[in-house]
Amino acid sequence: SGQGTLLGSIDHSVTAMGGRLLKRWLRYPLVNRKEIELRLIAVLEAKNNLHIRRSIIECLKSVYDLERLGTKISMGHSNAKDLVALKRSLKKLPEIWTFISELKSGYFTYSEKLDNLIELADLIDKAIREDAPPVVNEGGIIKAGFNEELDGLMEISRSGKNYLAQLEIQERKSTRINTLKVRYNKVFGYYIEVPKARSENVPRNYVRKQTLVNAERYITDELKNYESKVFGAEERRAELEFEIFNEIRKEVVKNNISIQSVARFLARLDCIIDLAEIADQNNYCKPEMNTTGEIFIKEGRHPVIEKMIAGERFVPNTIKLDNRENQILIITGPNMAGKSTVLRQVAIIVLMAQMGSFVPAKSASVNITDRIFTRVGALDNLSQGQSTFMVEMQETANILNNSTEQSLVILDEIGRGTSTFDGLSIAWAVAEYLHDLDKKGVKTLFATHYHELTDLALKKPRVKNFNIAVREWNDEIIFLRKLVEGGTNRSYGIQVARLAGIPDEVLLRAKKILAKVENGELSLDDTPALHEDGDDSNSSHLQLKLFQKPERIILENLSNLDISTMTPLDALNYLDELGEKAKDLTRR
């Protein structure tokens, strides 16, 4: 989730329930064609009805998390604000139902009656105050007019202020102390306060309760009686309000099954409206779900990257995979050209189609896959003692052991974490295995820097070569981001290194080394003969070429040997070295 993720790009849901459901839809895409089609039809209908869609969105903004509210109230952990939130949500149902009644898809049909829930909302509305405090057992949560006994207790509380004012006037007259005050606080209750200078003038019925620096506080029998009456009323009021609150909470529990049912429906509605909204905003198309085993995406785009480069044009690409001619696509090209983007966008489009969403493409026909396997990126697991290569091989093993004819496999740079020969050999064998699996093969996109893999297209009928086009200009490259047919034998690594800021001195040296490597100048120990031009080295006699057979290597070195220029000792040393290498090559 979050920015830079697929969920972050498509989740414009309004409710918390919808957000959670959309995440589940993405994690668990559908594999039943009929269910996918029903969801797509609902998205299409919502997409084509802008006014209704936007009206529903506005209504959903007032809906709280009914799933969790209902559960919280049923578990007895709720307060008055939770009931108010439930009421506000339920009050929106008739308006939402008015809008969905104009839509025909089954996704917009709710068969159960809402009468009980509307009555529950009315009950909460009549009983619970909007400004109720969070604590439920101290009063102040039930509206006036809901309960006759409670109204009487409330009147006693309200009349307290008038009583204090009248008593203050009365006592000032009888004592002739104009600065006398009648007050209340939670610590001392009701009291009469007289300045110390006038304390000698108080009547005998005044009982001292507290002495302050500048005043004395007193209590009278009349005030004590009133205090008992008020305190009793307040206590009874709090008890009665809590009883009423619990009764209403019981009504919610009775209707919780209906609340949860409505919550699920609203979550689903929110998801459909969301998918329609992103389809409309981003020019997505409705995918066709086929049974031919074909994945054909015309001018597909990556939904996440497309948003991240807002203001720039995303270059779309067309991909066709099937079980007849285009089952495994070997994709070559330089780093940063866009190979990984193409691979990921195909997987994402298939995933979006099977979750019932429109997809970022001009058109798309997608065969239902049972699984999407991906081997991308480079991660290690040091806590388990697993290197990057080990993790890569474990992921690859999972793919090879579990993929089927109905799967989609995405492989990005298999074999990078080991030596060139080992990596190439593993990548080659993996591609062959996926082609020959169960004599049917698996639809696979395989991005690689091993250009030798393009030879697979000559050996396996359902393997095709593609590359990401680039254009060279003044020893620099321009990434065209376009997938074109055919392989390439260049990686443009030095040009990419220049873009990354590698110093010119290093780049110049790398060019010289590359020239030697491309000319096949490799020593017998499989390392490049990287001595500077003009260096005298006998190792130049012992050069290898990739994929040559050991016996041919030895024959070539013997035929190139000029024994007339060698001393007897040089000849013996050379012969000994050649013999040791022959043994080593034979053991391979």
> What is residue 22's predicted lDDT score, i.e. its pLDDT?
98
- Each residue of 328-383: pLDDT tens digit? 999 998 877 788 999 999 999 999 999 999 999 999 999 999 999 999 876 645 55
Determine the pLDDT at residue 188.
Answer: 82
DSSP 385-446: TB-HHHHHHHHHHHHHHH--TT-EEEEESTTTTS-HHHHHHHHHHHHHHHHHGGGT--EEEE
pTM: 0.78
CA-to-CA dists, residue 50 to 27, 44, 164, 274, angstroms = 28, 11, 62, 12
Please determine, for residue 524, whether its predicted confidence score (pLDDT) is greater than 50: no
**359/285 Cα distance (integer angstroms):** 5
Q: Which H helix or E strand runs over 467? A: strand 463-473
Which domains are assigned to the chain?
A: 6-144+247-280 (1.10.1420.10), 160-234 (1.10.1420.10), 284-500 (3.40.50.300), 504-587 (no CATH)
The pLDDT, as a whole number, for residue 536 is 46
- What 3-state DSSP class applies to 62? coil
Residues 103-146: tens digit of each pLDDT: 999 999 998 999 999 999 999 999 999 999 999 888 899 999 99
572: exposed, middle or buried (Cβ count in 10 Å: 0-12, 13-18, 19+): exposed
pLDDT at 585: 60
pLDDT of residue 523: 45
Q: Is the pLDDT of residue 272 over 80?
A: yes
Query: Which residue has 């009469």 as its token pair?
Result: 192
Confidence class for position 387, pLDDT limits 50, 70, 90: confident
Contacts 24+ apart (CB under 8 A), 85-88: 86/120, 86/121, 86/124, 86/252, 86/259, 87/121, 87/124, 87/125, 87/128, 88/62, 88/63, 88/64
User: What pLDDT is recorded for position 21?
Assistant: 98
* Whether the predicted pLDDT of 539 surpasses 70: no
pLDDT on residue 451: 86
Average pLDDT over residues 237-243: 92
Paired strand residues for 472: 477
List of residues 6+ apart from 232 with CB closer than 8 A: none
Is residue 391 predicted with pLDDT exceeding 60? yes
For residue 235, the model assigns a pLDDT of 85
163-172, 193-202, 557-566: least confident range: 557-566
For residue range 2-16, what is the model confidence (pLDDT) as tens digits? 778 999 999 999 999
Q: What is the chain's mean pLDDT, rounded?
A: 87
Distances (CA, A) of 585 to 61, 309, 526, 561: 72, 51, 11, 19
Give the residue with greater pLDDT, 530 vs 80: 80
Question: What whole-number percentage of the chain has pLDDT above 70?
Answer: 87
pLDDT at 228: 83
pLDDT for the residue 505: 86
For position 77, what pLDDT does the model report? 86
Cα 351–Cα 317–Cα 346 angle in degrees, nearest 5 = 15
Residue 411 · residue 446 · CB < 8 Å: yes
Residue 282 has a pLDDT of 95
**Closest by Cα among 179, 173, 190 to 230:** 190
Whether the pLDDT of residue 69 is over 90: the answer is yes
